[in-house]
Amino acid sequence: MSKNVIYEKLVEIVGKERVSSEDFELYAYSRDLSPAKPKLASFVVRPEKAEEVAEIVKLANEHKTPIYVRGCGCSHWAAWLPLKGGILLDTTSMDGIVAVDEENLTAVVECGCTWFKLMEELQKKKLTYLSSEMGGPAMTIGGSVIKAGGGPYGTCKFGFHGQMDVLGFEVVLPTGEMVKTGSWVMPNVVPFRREGLGPDLTGLLIGSEGIFGIITKIALRVRPLPEHEGFLYFDFADWENVVKVGDAVTRCVGDEMAYSLDCGESVAEPGKVGVRIYIFGYDKKIIKYRKNKVRELCIENNGKEGDAKRASEFFNKVVSGLPDIFASGVWHFAATGAVPIHKIPKFVHAWREIIKKHDFTKSTFGAWAFPRGWTIYAHLLYSELTEYEKLMVVSDELNKKFFEIGFVPYGIGGPEGLQPYIKRRWGQYYKWIRKIKHSLDPNNILQPGILVEGDREC
C-alpha cells in the first residue's frame, strides 16, 4: 500500500493539521535522551482522543504498518524510536486531567498529561501523588508509567510507579479494541482498586514499554499533601556504611523511615558518597522522631552531617526540573537497574575500575533506595561531537559488567538500549513475553523491535 494512502487515511482520522510526513518533522522526532542514532518514522500523528488512537491502530493493522508511541520522548532506552519506520504516534495532544476524586483519593488523567501539571492541579486541592522521577517538567504520565519509572523522589517508601499508585488504565490494544483495567472494568464502579478481577492486567502493561497496548487514560492514587517534612544531608567515606543505612531505613517494610534516600559518588571526589534524605508525613512529632532516628543511624554508621539545604534544594526541584543538567555535557544513563539492598559495593568497584581504565572524567555512580533494594546507575556526561565513541565503549563495558554481576534492568528499550544484554539471559521468560506479544499483536504492529524482537517483521 502506498505511503500516500496511509497519509490520506490518517488525515481522515485526525484531520490535516495533526498528521505530518515532512522530512524535517521526522528528524525533529528522531531521537530520545539516549545516545541512539536518529531513527525516522514515515508519519507523525497527533490524535486527540482514544477513539482516534483506536482508528489509527486499526489502520496500521490493515496496512501492516508499525506504530511507535511517544509521550514527551525524554526516556533513555531508545524505547520509542521508530526502528522500522511507520507511524509515530505523539500522545501529547491528549494531556487533560479528566477527574480528581477527592473522596476516593484518585485522579484520572489522559496519557499525555505531565506529572507537573497534575501536581499543580492536585496542590490546589491540598493533594499530591507520590513516587516520582526526576525527568523534569515535560515527562508524561503515560510514558512514565508504561516504563515503570521511578526516581529518587518518594521511591524509598512507595517504590516505582505501579507498585501502589496505578489503579487502572484505559488502553487501546494492538488490534484496535479499547479496554479498561482494574475496578474501572465493572459497570457502575469508579477506578479505585486495581485487584479483584483475575490476573493483574494493569500490571501486565506497567513496564511493557508500549508493546501490549497504547495507554490512553490512567487512574492514579492520590494522597493528602504532606503537612510536615524534613531533610538531611550526610557524607560517607564508603558505600558499605551507606548500605547499612539503606538497610535499616527500609527494614520495617511498609513503614519505611524515609520517603527518599538518594546517594551518589562522583569521579571528581572518589570514595565520597553524598546522601540526601527526605522525610515527610502528617504529624510533626512523627517527622521529628523519624528525622532524629535517621540522623542517629547515619552518625552510627560514620556519616558526617552536612547542610540539609543540599537535600531540600534537590528534592524540591526533582519534578519541576533540576538545574544545570547539561553543564558538562549531554547525559547518558548506562547500566541502570535494580539490585538487592546489600549488593551495591561490587557495582561501585566495577564502575570505578571501568571509568578509571578509560579515563572517563565526567561520571557519577548513583543509587536510590526502594523497599529492600536500590536502583543503581552509572551517569555519564559527554560531548556528542568529541566523546561519542568513547562514551559508547564505556557504556557497553559498564552494561556488560553490571549484568555479569547480576542486576535487573530498569528499562530495556530497543537494540540501542539494554535489549541486546537481556535477550540471552532471559531464556524461557523472553519467549513467554514474545508469546504474549504475538497473541495480542499478531501483526507485530505496536513498537516492533522494542523490548522483545518480533517474529514477523512489518
Ligand X SMILES: Cc1cc2nc3c(=O)[nH]c(=O)nc-3n(C[C@H](O)[C@H](O)[C@H](O)COP(=O)(O)OP(=O)(O)OC[C@H]3O[C@@H](n4cnc5c(N)ncnc54)[C@H](O)[C@@H]3O)c2cc1C
Confirm if 284 and 262 have CB atoms less than 8 A apart: no
- Residue 57: name its binding partner from ligand X, another protein, none (Cβ under 5 to 8 Å by kind): none
The reply to whether 409 sits near ligand X by the rule CB under 6 A is no
**CB 184 to ligand X: min, Å:** 16
Between 301 and 364, name the residue whose CB sits nearer to ligand X: 364
Q: Is 159 in the site for ligand X (CB under 6 A)?
A: no
Piece of 5-13, 73-81, 422-430, 435-443 that binds ligand X (CB under 6 A): 73-81
CA angle, 97 then 69 then 139, to 5°: 50
Using the rule CB under 6 A, is 311 a contact of ligand X? no
- Residue 29 contact partner, candidates another protein, ligand X, none, CB within 5 to 8 A by sort of partner: another protein
Compare residues 331 and 430 and give the one whose CB is closer to another protein.
331
The arrangement of strands across the sheet holding 228-236 comes to: 304-305, 228-236, 273-281, 260-266, 363-370, 373-382, 330-340, 408-409
Reading the block at residue 88, the C-alpha cell is 509515530
Q: Which does 25 bind (CB under 5 to 8 A by kind): ligand X, another protein, none?
A: another protein
Instruction: Return d(Cα 442, Cα 174) in angstroms, integer.
Output: 8
Identify the residue among 47, 66, 86, 143 touching ligand X (CB under 6 A): 143
Write the CA distances from 140 to 101, 123, 125, integer angstroms.
20, 18, 21
- Give the whole-angstrom CA distance, residue 304 versus residue 292: 14
Residues numbered 255 to 284 that lie near ligand X (CB under 6 A) are none
Within 8 A by CB and 6+ apart from 236, the residues are 242, 272, 273, 275, 298, 301, 302, 303, 304
3-state secondary structure of 295: helix
Residues of this chain that interact with another protein (CB under 8 A) are 17-18, 20, 22-25, 27-33, 38, 44, 46, 72-74, 90, 92-93, 95, 112, 114-117, 120, 135-140, 320-327, 329-331, 383-385
Using CB under 6 A as the binding rule, whether residue 443 contacts ligand X is answered as: no
Nearer to ligand X, 154 or 303 (CB): 154
By rule CB under 6 A, what count of residues binds ligand X? 34
Torsion of the alpha carbons at 397, 402, 406 and 412, rounded to the nearest 10: -90
Residue 179 lies near ligand X (rule: CB under 6 A): no
Alpha-carbon distances of 152 from 138, 179, 285, 308, 346, rounded to whole Å: 17, 32, 25, 16, 21
d(CA 350, CA 307): 30
Residue 74 in contact with ligand X, rule: CB under 6 A:
yes
**The one segment of 72-80, 257-265, 357-365, 415-423 that binds ligand X by CB under 6 A:** 72-80
Among the listed ranges 144-152, 231-239, 378-386, 397-405, the one in contact with ligand X (CB under 6 A) is 144-152
Which alpha helices (H) appear in 301-379, and where do they start and end?
A: 309-315, 344-357
With binding defined as CB under 6 A, does residue 34 bind ligand X?
Answer: no
Cβ atoms within 10 A of the Cβ of 373, count? 21
Pick the piece of the chain touching ligand X (CB under 6 A) from 70-78, 191-199, 250-258, 280-288.
Answer: 70-78
Q: What are phi and psi of 356, to 5 degrees?
A: -70, -45
Question: Which one, 150 or 264, has the nearer CB to ligand X?
Answer: 150
Q: Could you list the residues that contact ligand X (CB under 6 A)? A: 32-33, 69-76, 79-80, 91, 111, 133-136, 139-140, 142-144, 146-147, 149-151, 209-210, 214-215, 325, 447
